[in-house]
Structure 1
């Protein structure tokens, strides 16, 4: 792994050089039918199949010269420092639902005696009440009420969707804020990597600020060095967008405009990147079912009596919002073709959630055959792979990747 280089992302389409992934692990074995909705899954993935598919994803990326960095390995490297490991364990326990002090102490002592690799694995896969009972001298109420929720440390089955955990904006890292409690601990991993791994030694760490609940990386598209697009969705809130916009536009001056696209608040859409993505300099892939259902806004900075404020203007259409931002005409490519049922079916299979590895070249699930063919006809090269198990977590290649370095053409 090359360290000490300059992590930087200023677009969605630059040549992808470094990306953080997480290969699905035993946390998927802790998804049970009773808790599917709580775990934010539609179905239970087959772990062996999901890992094989993820390996294909890695092969596609490495075949394009992308340096693939695995989150658990990066975490293991920094947790070799005992002081960092103790702090990391304590923060994870603080975010848990544990209130009983003897239970907290038992889990803390157990985690502390593990190796760095075992610590990472345990905090991702979760610790159930049956296991923790054996670490304690006496039982507490929660030990007897496993039917309500069987974990003291809940698993992180969505961990393989690293996109949501943090966003590289130029040379700055935005630590996100998950809307659902089951995912809240995920951002701790990126936070610790940001502060303690040499990979981020040259990154600007001044972007840590307290966000209101609900700003996830799947709703953030880095369109250029001065333009960021954010989705207002089921997972990202107005309050979080407004605070992030103030930080980006006024406090840090990282960009000149924040484009906001409000999509229907429906589970099947989740994030902006499940319905809209840039695939080339002037080409966007859009799910046609939402084109006339979005509301678009442009946020910029303004000053009055020496005080900065966020100015908001409404745009009439998504096309106009994008063309005004770029200053040239754009082509919208519609996923799934002209048939509403087909486009809806493929959208739910992650057809729009592609990962750009270079201008006009994307990685996509092979199951979305119609969308992939449409992309090819429009000059976009598609590198496909199997994703029948991975999509059960409701995300595609873009969701499964956190780019930290792109090279602009």
Structure 2
């Protein structure tokens, strides 16, 4: 528990969490670019900030230390004295073809104090904010009606995805869509340079320099021996196999990975949008991931008999696989929206299955998913609801908005 990263379960009492308060990057969405930036709607900034502040206070009121991505990033850059290096790397990954634009952006960002520089990068840089020579041909062909030289990062308030805490280490993720690829650079910088994490024994199980993609919404820590990883729209089977090799070859505490195949659609982009753990023997589940008879394709990955080889077993009874992995006699799968033909897909769209456990049997959920919330209570779960009219527009719930850094251990 004295380590800066320590997560051995999904349900252990949450002690420290990483959030990102929505900022100008959300307000910089427009109807023309929101699909490109993976949004279906445009949140109202003052209200989404109010809702997010209430979410953070809910966590703090329950004994959780809340850290902020934007603040840690600035502190890490200053601690490592890497401001110019960080800007250069960020610009290199921002798809800027014009050398004139690149130079002007660097000059623009270098003039800010570090925190304002970080906030500006996150918010995006508009064309009107910097002057470019009128004879620059690359600029002239860059779409006069497109407002940005550097795109905003409105998905940043979903801190779950760019990285994931697994045991005493993290995966720093190569993300699927270009709109989110730069996000994990902030986590990488924090782990390398922030005094709280750098040289503190944090294992980097996987860095962001991979071609295969994985995202934190698909990474669930069932207990100190077993992970569940989603094969999904955002996480590839290849990435899961590579992570399994790293964890097994480097003698992590994890001995088994359950790779769970879910539909490759936006409404179910990550495993945690359809499946989360809420107690020792209880899970939320969206019925839409189950085939007739309740089947879900699940692949069990374990260390093979030969060094460097994986043993992979295909199973279809997810409930039985989970029971065996957790060592429980019975398992309670609580259907989102009660499995109703209307309520289930409606509440799943608004992340009714995306719960954040802050202790065994205690979860934070969106208030709008009242059918699922009442069903959780009927199954003995304490439900803490938060307002969600604007937060939910980004298609992510309380688990999506939080990256646990430290949880207390639980007994298996």
Give, in whole Å, the separation in 1 of the partners of 2:204 and 2:92: 24
**3-state SS of paired residue (1:8):** coil
Task: Find the counterpart in structure 1 of residue 406 from structure 2.
Answer: 405
Q: State the shift of 1:35 in Å.
A: 1.5
Q: State the shift of 1:153 in Å.
A: 1.3
Map residues 255-404 of structure 1 onto 2, 5 A cutoff.
255-292=254-291, 294-304=296-306, 307-328=307-328, 329-404=330-405
Give, in whole Å, the separation in 2 of the partners of 1:204 and 1:52: 33
Q: Describe the superposition over 1:235-285 as per-residue Cα deviations: whole angstroms up to 9, x where unpaired.
A: 111121111111112244341011100001111011000000000011111
Task: Find the counterpart in structure 1 of residue 234 from structure 2.
Answer: 235
Q: Describe the superposition over 1:330-379 as per-residue Cα deviations: whole angstroms up to 9, x where unpaired.
A: 21111211412111101001111110111000001000001000001111
Give, in whole Å, the separation in 1 of the partners of 2:204 and 2:43: 38
Give, in whole Å, the separation in 2 of the partners of 1:204 and 1:343: 39
Map residues 10-409 of structure 1 onto 2, 5 A cutoff.
10-81=8-79, 83-132=81-130, 134=131, 136=133, 138-143=135-140, 145-147=142-144, 149-201=146-198, 202-209=200-207, 210-292=209-291, 294-304=296-306, 307-328=307-328, 329-409=330-410
Q: State the shift of 1:316 in Å.
A: 2.1
Give, in whole Å, the separation in 1 of the partners of 2:143 and 2:251: 47
**Shift in alpha-carbon separation, 1:361–1:160, aligned structure 2, 3 A:** same
Q: State the shift of 1:135 in Å.
A: 5.2
**3-state SS of paired residue (1:408):** coil
Pick which of 290-299 and 114-123 moved more.
290-299
Q: State the shift of 1:88 in Å.
A: 1.2
Q: State the shift of 1:208 in Å.
A: 4.1
The ranges of structure 1 where at least 4 consecutive aligned residues each deviate by more than 4 angstroms after the TM superposition are 135-138
Give, in whole Å, the separation in 2 of the partners of 1:143 and 1:122: 24
Pick which of 74-83 and 157-166 moved more.
74-83
- Contact between 2:4 and 2:405, CA under 8 Å: does it hold in 1? no
Question: Which ranges of structure 1 fall in alignment gaps of 5 or more residues?
Answer: none
Q: Describe the superposition over 1:20-66 as per-residue Cα deviations: whole angstroms up to 9, x where unpaired.
A: 00000000121111112111111111111110110110111011010
- Contact between 1:4 and 1:198, CA under 8 Å: does it hold in 2? no
Q: State the shift of 1:287 in Å.
A: 1.0
Q: Size of the alignment, in residue pairs?
A: 404
**3-state SS of paired residue (1:265):** coil
Q: State the shift of 1:104 in Å.
A: 1.1
Alignment RMSD:
1.8
Question: Which ranges of structure 2 fall in alignment gaps of 5 or more residues?
Answer: none
Q: State the shift of 1:176 in Å.
A: 1.1
**3-state SS of paired residue (2:82):** helix
Q: Describe the superposition over 1:151-176 as per-residue Cα deviations: whole angstroms up to 9, x where unpaired.
A: 22111000000000111111111111
Give, in whole Å, the separation in 1 of the partners of 2:388 and 2:187: 25
Q: TM-score, normalised by structure 2?
A: 0.94
**3-state SS of paired residue (1:34):** coil
Q: State the shift of 1:318 in Å.
A: 1.1
- Contact between 2:172 and 2:188, CA under 8 Å: does it hold in 1? yes
Q: State the shift of 1:206 in Å.
A: 3.9
**3-state SS of paired residue (2:380):** coil
